[in-house]
């Protein structure tokens, strides 16, 4: 299941798979909001180490307060898109911001569509 | 001999400058060759047989103007009138020669001579010395025509509909012309009337040391033609595994992580704390950082060292601020 989801994610992520057999490849993101989310994820990945280290300086009681205030200013000066809080886990196929199950990265509607067509491995309608 | 001496005098600084840049790529290429030894053994043997036979002819024919590249001079020392070979290159050449099953001394001397010739021809080509290039080309074409032409020939046979692509036209045109006139176009001294630094020397230079662009294109074509779409689910899964979409089973939890460092390098990180003051809150803080890092199984040793160095740089920058306190 993870493999299929990963497959979908790769295709949505604009990668042209280097294989000879013609496969459907999507080369655009679903919408601009998804693109902005992608940019934010990339920036957050780039600045993750720095943010971690500056936060380590800020959030401790050993170092002097002046140092911590200087670190405060520094982290505020970093670009806004570099903080991980701005990332929204959108649906990978439809870019829906709400109702997204984390395990499959799909919105509830798409999930239900695939599950009903028996395209989700190991997913069954609940009956008890 | 006067011409060669003059060119040598004019190019010592140029050679010295380009030593740094030029010596990197041959070293890289040699290391690649060492790495690809198992695959290309037969090609290497053929090439060296060719070289052995041609060298004797070349020695007899082009004694005068091409004395720099001849074998007897090459056998003596590694340094040569202002153009010393990189000692690492020499070591790599001896490693390559020792790993080959044939006559080791001979292969080593041939490799060194080839290296020297390679560097000299790059220098000469950059300086634009036409006469020496001509000699080098005439010598080179006699030796290396078949491997260079082989790829072009075969790729022209398997010419897929790539005529629209401007990239394919060049080798097809040149190979067709040369094959029509039965090697009469390429043999002989070039007058260099129309093209200044023609692609011939680069072409000839790159064949032995690294695969040319045309070879890479040819390999890509072959791969595209031979790779059929998967016939069943197993082949599809194999293809996905090769591309990296599917993990390899049985699943290895440490796929990208194992960098071969011992446990003591991960845990005992106090040696990296040498740049920090011995006492004070900073030292206390860094000791806590190191303690946390030693318990972290997810970072590699390099990343941990980078972490500590970042803190060092940061505190260096904040030194003035800290003095006020």
Q: pLDDT at position B102, please? A: 67
pLDDT digits (tens, 9 = 90+) for B118-127: 888 777 666 6
Model confidence at B305: pLDDT above 70: yes
- Global pTM exceeds 0.80: no
* Mean pLDDT for the stretch of residues A61-85: 92
Triad A64, A66, A44: Cα angle to 5°: 100
Q: pLDDT at position B159, please? A: 53
Q: pLDDT at position A49, please? A: 93
Triad B112, B116, B122: Cα angle to 5°: 145
| pLDDT, chain A, mean | 85
Eight-class DSSP state of A101: E
What is the C-alpha separation between B263 and B253, in angstroms, rounded? 18
Architecture of the domain spanning A30-87: Orthogonal Bundle (1.10)
Q: For residue A100, give the H/E element and its range.
A: strand A100-101
* Mean pLDDT for the stretch of residues A4-26: 52
Chain Cα centroid distance, residue B303: 28
Q: pLDDT at position B13, please? A: 42
In the block, which residue shows the tokens 């993750």?
A48
Contact B311, A71 (CB under 8 A): no
The C-alpha R_g of chain B, in whole angstroms, comes to 28
pLDDT digits (tens, 9 = 90+) for B167-200: 444 455 555 555 555 667 777 777 777 776 555 5
Closest residue of chain B to A3, computed from CA coordinates: B246
Model confidence at B306: pLDDT above 90: yes
Q: Which CATH class is domain A89-123?
A: mainly alpha
Q: pLDDT at position B78, please? A: 42
Residues from chain B that touch A62, judged by Cβ atoms under 8 A, are 281, 284-285, 288
- Residues of chain A within CATH 1.10.287.1480 domain(s) are 30-87, 89-123
Model confidence at B26: pLDDT above 80: no
What is the C-alpha separation between B80 and B73, in angstroms, rounded? 9
Comparison of pLDDT for B54 and A20, the residue scoring more:
B54
Chain Cα centroid distance, residue B316: 40
pLDDT digits (tens, 9 = 90+) for B221-273: 998 888 888 899 999 999 999 998 999 888 888 887 777 888 888 889 888 88
Residues from chain B that touch A70, judged by Cβ atoms under 8 A, are 318, 321
Reported ipTM exceeds the 0.95 cut: no
Tokens of B234: 């197993």
- Asked if the C-beta of B246 comes within 8 angstroms of chain A's C-beta atoms, the answer is yes
Residues from chain A that touch B307, judged by Cβ atoms under 8 A, are 49, 53
* Mean pLDDT for the stretch of residues A8-19: 44
pLDDT digits (tens, 9 = 90+) for B70-105: 444 444 444 444 455 677 777 777 777 777 766 777
Angle between helices B12-35 and B104-127 (to 10 degrees): 130
Residues from chain A that touch B245, judged by Cβ atoms under 8 A, are 3, 6-7, 10, 17
B29-34 long-range CB contacts below 8 Å, 24 or more apart? B29/B209, B29/B210, B30/B89, B30/B92, B30/B93, B30/B96, B30/B115, B30/B209, B31/B92, B32/B210, B33/B96, B33/B209, B34/B92, B34/B95, B34/B96, B34/B99
- Asked if the C-beta of B268 comes within 8 angstroms of chain A's C-beta atoms, the answer is no
Q: pLDDT at position A26, please? A: 78
- Asked if the C-beta of B118 comes within 8 angstroms of chain A's C-beta atoms, the answer is no
């Amino acid at each position: 299941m993870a493999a299929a989801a990963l497959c979908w994610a790769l295709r949505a992520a604009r990668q042209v798979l280097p294989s000879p057999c013609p496969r459907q490849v999507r080369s655009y993101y679903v919408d601009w909001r998804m693109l902005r989310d992608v940019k934010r994820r990339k920036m957050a990945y780039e600045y993750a180490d720095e943010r971690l280290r500056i936060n380590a300086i800020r959030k401790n009681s050993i170092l002097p307060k002046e140092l911590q205030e200087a670190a405060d200013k520094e982290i505020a000066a970093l670009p806004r898109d570099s903080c991980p809080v701005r990332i929204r886990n959108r649906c990978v196929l439809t870019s829906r911001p709400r109702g997204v199950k984390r395990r499959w990265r799909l919105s509830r509607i798409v999930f239900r569509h695939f599950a009903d067509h028996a395209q989700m491995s190991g997913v069954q309608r609940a009956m008890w | 001999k006067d011409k060669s001496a003059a060119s040598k005098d004019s190019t010592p600084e140029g050679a010295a400058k380009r030593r740094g840049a030029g010596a990197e790529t041959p070293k890289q290429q040699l290391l690649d060759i060492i790495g690809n030894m198992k695959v290309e053994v037969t090609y290497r043997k053929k090439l060296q047989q060719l070289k052995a036979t041609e060298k004797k002819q070349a020695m007899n024919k082009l004694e005068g103007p091409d004395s720099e590249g001849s074998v007897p001079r090459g056998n003596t020392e590694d340094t040569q009138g202002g153009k010393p070979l990189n000692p690492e290159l020499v070591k790599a050449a001896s490693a390559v020669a020792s790993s080959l099953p044939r006559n080791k001394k001979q292969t080593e001397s041939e490799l060194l001579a080839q290296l020297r010739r390679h560097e000299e021809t790059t220098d000469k080509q950059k300086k634009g010395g036409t006469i020496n290039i001509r000699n080098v080309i005439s010598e080179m074409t006699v030796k290396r025509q078949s491997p260079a032409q082989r790829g072009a020939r075969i790729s022209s046979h398997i010419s897929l509909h790539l005529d629209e692509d401007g990239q394919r036209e060049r080798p097809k045109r040149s190979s067709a012309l040369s094959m029509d006139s039965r090697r009469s176009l390429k043999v002989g001294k070039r007058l260099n009337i129309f093209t200044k630094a023609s692609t011939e020397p680069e072409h000839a230079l790159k064949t032995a040391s690294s695969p040319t662009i045309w070879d890479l294109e040819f390999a890509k074509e072959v791969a595209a033609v031979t790779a059929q779409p998967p016939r069943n689910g197993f082949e599809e899964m194999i293809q996905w595994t090769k591309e990296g979409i599917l993990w390899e089973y049985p699943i290895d939890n440490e796929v990208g992580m194992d960098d071969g460092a011992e446990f003591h390098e991960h845990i005992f990180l106090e040696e990296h704390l040498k740049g920090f003051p011995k006492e004070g809150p900073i030292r206390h803080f860094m000791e806590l950082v190191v303690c946390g890092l030693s318990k972290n199984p997810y970072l590699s040793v390099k990343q941990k060292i980078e972490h500590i160095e970042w803190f060092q740089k940061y505190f260096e920058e904040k030194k003035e601020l800290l003095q006020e306190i």
